Structure 1
Amino acid sequence: MANGLPDPPCGLLTADAARSLVDSVDAFLFDCDGVIWKGDKLIEGVRETMELLRKMGKKIVFVTNNSRKSRRQYSKKFRSLGLEVTEEDIFTSSFAAAMFLKLNNFPSEKKVYVVGEGGILEELKLAGFECFGGPEDGKKNIILEADFHFEHDKNVGAVVVGLDQHFNYYKMQYARTCITENPGCLFIATNRDPTGHMTSAQEWPGAGTMVAAVSCSVQKEPIVVGKPSSFLMDFLLKSFNLETSRMCMVGDRLDTDILFGQNTGCKTLLVLSGQKLVVLSAPQSLSRVQ
């Protein structure tokens, strides 16, 4: 085991191995950033790959840790890039955060404070929760003066932290105060990715940097609902009549995508952000792919 990751048999994906993989899989789970696109640029060959897999009768699902958009907003982005994908085939970490609260019977009278962007707010509202924060609080400042006391809503029962381009000291203090001063307040992270492909030119700080800041200030670890947590897999299994052994997770990160697949019993396929080299790993396989 290296860096917390299992060491299953793995190897380069040759033509023979690719045919064997496709024959053994009914559904492919694709990450988005760095696998389908970089920023707003579609990676070469993606459209043709999607068409081929669908012609072969394979189910295609998208599982992303990026919480900036809701499933509705992601469906719109897919269409803008020439890919027809329905909301039902998209599973985001923003959706996972809302579903976690719903499944755990989060009290309807409690509020949710969001350190993140519109995607989290939209999914929470669609799930019936009262929430606030997000981009609006990115405009707020704190002036530290003697005897200054930071006021917050005592009715906040959960804080959700995700990728936030408007992250600031005000948000960090609001989250910290709710978690430490509101009895039983949940601390939920959409994901802990350290970086992400926010543009096609380079990588940028990911949600994990915001989560780390809040976690450090409250001296508490969050509940993580995105990959590599297996939480999203429960919804996949409920939505589609498939077995995890007949699924393949395709991603560009070992610590999230591939670990998610291995944690849930899927085959896994690592792509190096659009490059030709890929690595296949199959649970319970005893032979190295040649």
Structure 2
Amino acid sequence: MAPLQHLTGDKLAIKEFVDKFDAFLFDCDGVLWSGDTPFQGAVETLDMLRNKGKSIVFVTNNSTKSRVDYRKKLDGLGIKAQIEEIFSSSYSASVYISRILELPPNKRKVFILGESGIEQELAAESVSYIGGTDPAYRREITPEDYAKIASGDPSMMDPEVGVVLVGLDFHINYLKLAVALHYIQRGAVFLATNIDSTLPNSGSLFPGGGSICAPLIAMLGGPGVPGAEPLSLGKPSQAMMDAIEGKFKFDRKKTCMVGDRINTDIKFGIDGGLGGTLAVLTGVTSREQLVASAIAPTAYVDELKDLLEGA
């Protein structure tokens, strides 16, 4: 394996790297910002790439926000973006359900474990859903609930649900997990917006979307058991890459994926046959983890703003 190329501080190498690509796919959390704080120089770096004529797509596994929400956040952080440049895992999952997944006419409703971002994207695709932010599911389970769930009582178990879609859920509870489990056991398709175990925020790591899937996977038999693991529609799923390519019509060999997480962002770019991948050290992955990983990016920088050195 060739040694990792560390671009920080090497102006010529940075310029040569940037000049190779016509398009850049950017992860957001841990690359452009942490929580609600943009990283120093991130805005200027994106502006520099746009001024060079590079296309930019924001590709995020965070499902809690819709593309409209993300546009507002980007605007608030001073980052120029159009809604059409944003590709979130909630949008990817909604497109998959509405346009690709073939469901029986009487099984097209979705039960959500997640936040409003998923609801907004499903609604935009005219997909019916229950669960999510509905207060009816944000409560403790009762003895009556057990009996209704077990028997499939339609007052608790909607017979039209054909999909269980799991994303990051800030209000996950026993009732939601119990209902989701029984839908899957009754034949609902098990999907996830992403399987990230953690997400970066405020200089630390917190539970990610994959942590919401984990209890269900365990209940269904554990990793590797057929039907126990969801199909993920976020990075590194190539279903997401195909959807992005179909929408933006970029040349994969002239496209670079920029991210902080090796097993999602960088793997996403490598598996997708992109011309390059760039890791940054401001999010999940440390320098030590990067060096030890079997998944190697084309190059890495300490911070995104280091690309400005080659401008």
Tell me the TM-score range normalised by the shorter chain.
Answer: 0.7 to 0.9
Equivalent residue for 2:308? Answer: none
Distance 1:127 1:106, change over 3 A: farther
Distance 2:271 2:26 in 1: 16
Residue type matched to 2:184 in 1?
Answer: I
Equivalent residue for 2:142? Answer: 143
Q: What is the root-mean-square deviation of aligned Cα atoms in Å? A: 2.3
Distance 1:259 1:138 in 2: 35
Equivalent residue for 2:198? Answer: 195
Equivalent residue for 2:36? Answer: 40
Match of 1:218 among 217, 220, 227: 220
Equivalent residue for 2:278? Answer: 269
Note if 1:134 corresponds to 2:126: no
Residue type matched to 2:205 in 1?
Answer: E
TM superposition shift of 1:9: 5.7
Distance 2:175 2:146 in 1: 17
Distance 1:188 1:36 in 2: 27
TM-score, normalising length: structure 1: 0.88
Residue type matched to 2:240 in 1?
Answer: L
Give the stretch that moved more between structures: 33-42 or 10-19.
Answer: 10-19
Conserved 8 A contact 1:152-1:174: yes
Corresponding residue SS for 2:244 = helix
Match of 1:11 among 5, 14, 19: 5
Note if 1:172 corresponds to 2:168: no
Conserved 8 A contact 1:8-1:281: no
Conserved 8 A contact 2:148-2:157: no
Match of 1:281 among 297, 300, 306: 297
TM superposition shift of 1:140: 2.0
Distance 1:148 1:37, change over 3 A: same
Give the stretch that moved more between structures: 150-159 or 29-38.
Answer: 150-159
Distance 1:224 1:86, change over 3 A: same
TM superposition shift of 1:105: 3.4
Distance 1:11 1:108 in 2: 52
Distance 1:276 1:226, change over 3 A: closer
Distance 2:145 2:159 in 1: 23
Corresponding residue SS for 2:147 = coil
Equivalent residue for 2:256? Answer: 248
Equivalent residue for 1:3? Answer: none
Distance 2:197 2:184 in 1: 22
Note if 1:235 corresponds to 2:237: no
Conserved 8 A contact 2:5-2:298: no
Distance 1:103 1:145, change over 3 A: closer
Distance 1:70 1:134 in 2: 14
Distance 1:272 1:146, change over 3 A: closer
Corresponding residue SS for 2:120 = helix
What is the aligned residue count? 274
TM superposition shift of 1:107: 4.5
TM-score, normalising length: structure 2: 0.82
Identity score, percent: 41
Note if 1:61 corresponds to 2:52: no
